[in-house]
Amino acid sequence: MSAETTTAGGGSGGGTGGAVPAKGLRAGILDLGDSVMLGLASTAPVYSLAATLGLIVAVNGNYTPLILILGFVPVLFIAYAFRELNSAMPDCGTTFTWSRRAFGPWAGWLGGWGVALAGIVVLANLAQVAGQYLWLLIGDGSLAQNKLVVTVTGVLFIAFMTLVNYRGIRLGEHVQRVLTYVQYVSLGIFALAIIVRIAGGASGGAITGQAFDFEWFNPAGAFADPGAVVHGALLALFIYWGWDTCLAVNEETENPATTPGRGAVISAFVLVAIYVSVALLVMMYATVGTEGIGLGNEANHSDVFLAMKDVVLGPWGWLIIVAVLASVLSSTQTTILPTARGTLSMGVHGALPPKFGEVHPRNQTPGFSTQVMGVAAVTYYVAMSILSENLLADSISAISLFIAFYYALTGFACVWYFRDSLRASARNFWFRGVLPLIGALILTAAFFISAVQMWDPAYGDTQIFGVGGAFVSGVVLLALGVVLAAVCRFLPSTRGYFTGQPAAAPPSVRSPN
């Protein structure tokens, strides 16, 4: 296997693409269908809807479907940035590699840190939910309230999914396919049951339901409260996060310069269709009221589907628990994928010690990086569980900062990297310039708006020195990236990345044969 390959695409000069070092990953094992499936699974759509829909309704009421669409706009624009940058540099480091090429080593390192940080923190949330939902299925469900049992179960789930990813991309794809089928079939049954009940005139208990109204998509009505629109759109941003996983496995996908980008855009459009259609059905059946199974009922905000399952499915209500569990496990696996490949790329390019750039010779996976991500996620989850579950919840709220940070950085990198070729065609102007720039600007605004909201001590469940715990944990974790980058700047094994000296080729470059 050669030390590097050169891909086609327009660079900053509008002609040549970037050289992508070969890493020893199993090339061409995934097709477009696999890519789309990974993009859909990574967002944990069933869990994301269950946990976020009630919160958006609480802020935006009947305008929730419009908010879901508005939240999709910057995500779509950044998806185009990912697609265009991937066409020039199909490197599994994604934001790290592209930001480095556009803005230099420090921007690249911090972009890679943003991807890894979001993954590690969200894995703690996914582990917690997986542990709770498994025990909701067993016995009378009382063990779901046992902190020790849930934490141990969550740790075992992270360990298992880490092992699956370590053993090979094909095994991971098979596991992913099963989990994806389970969650989508269960969600389909749930949606069909709601349709049947609405068509038959059934209501959600004492709730009479509500008819579809085009007013729900009226921007003039929604923007009567601009603050509510911004808040709701920020919540919606989180439920779309994850489709970029299919870009992180670009070097293991057929036609790496084109297929992953297509998969990202397709999965983004499929997601918005799923979210809006399911939200409409649930709103029509349960309403946005504050009583019973109403989506506005504060008691239902943590999981609107759990509140509705027995009313909609009767004795088959356990299907929703299975769907959420499968959704969370699916996302756990696909969250480890991009974080491990991101640090693999950082190791190959010399931004992290060479050990991170090693690929298992038989499994053809980033063995060391995968193990590190699993250990980091377990350590963070256990530490937060011991310190405070409220602090864990607030650190999870800070994920919106990390997402907005590295998505915006990718959008700006796209515009700057292709700056000399933007006037070559109308396509370049829009898809490499205008749309990524708009998406990046929106997400930059979202970053600062989120930070201001999190500063309020009333935001979330904790406060530290009179400031919201979500803000403190978010800023501390982002600042930790600056500290780690400074350390790497002076380490002998990574100094060359910052100074421009070529790094030694890691063992992963050797052919597994």
3-class DSSP string for 247-311? HHCHHHECCCCCHHHHHHHHHHHHHHHHHHHHHHHHHHHHCCCCCCCCCCCHHHCCCHHHHHHHH
Ranking 17-21, 77-81, 270-274, 323-327 by mean pLDDT, the lowest is 17-21
Q: Which two tokens stand for residue 111?
A: 């972009």
Residue 335 token pair:
């969250």
Structure token pair of residue 263:
């998969």
Q: Tell the burial category of 223 from Cβ atoms under 10 Å away from its Cβ (0-12, 13-18, 19+).
A: middle
> According to the model, what pLDDT value does residue 191 have?
94
What is the model's pLDDT at position 502?
A: 57
What is the tens place of the pLDDT at every residue in 256-308? 999 999 999 999 999 999 999 999 999 999 999 888 898 988 888 888 998 89
**pLDDT value for 456:** 86
Question: What tokens were used for 292?
Answer: 């019973």
Rounded Cα gap, residues 426 and 130, in angstroms = 47
For tokens 């980033």, the residue is: 366
- Give pLDDT tens digits for 18-41: 567 788 888 888 999 989 988 888
Neighbours of 367 (CB within 10 A): 21
pLDDT of residue 207 exceeding 90: no
pLDDT band at 384 (very low <50, low <70, confident <90, very high): confident
pLDDT at 116: 95
Asked whether residue 198 carries a pLDDT value surpassing 50, the answer given is: yes
How many whole angstroms from its chain centre is CA 445?
A: 19
pTM score: 0.90
- Rounded Cα gap, residues 492 and 478, in angstroms: 24
pLDDT tens per residue across span 240-256: 988 899 999 999 999 99
- Mean local confidence (pLDDT), 110-138: 92
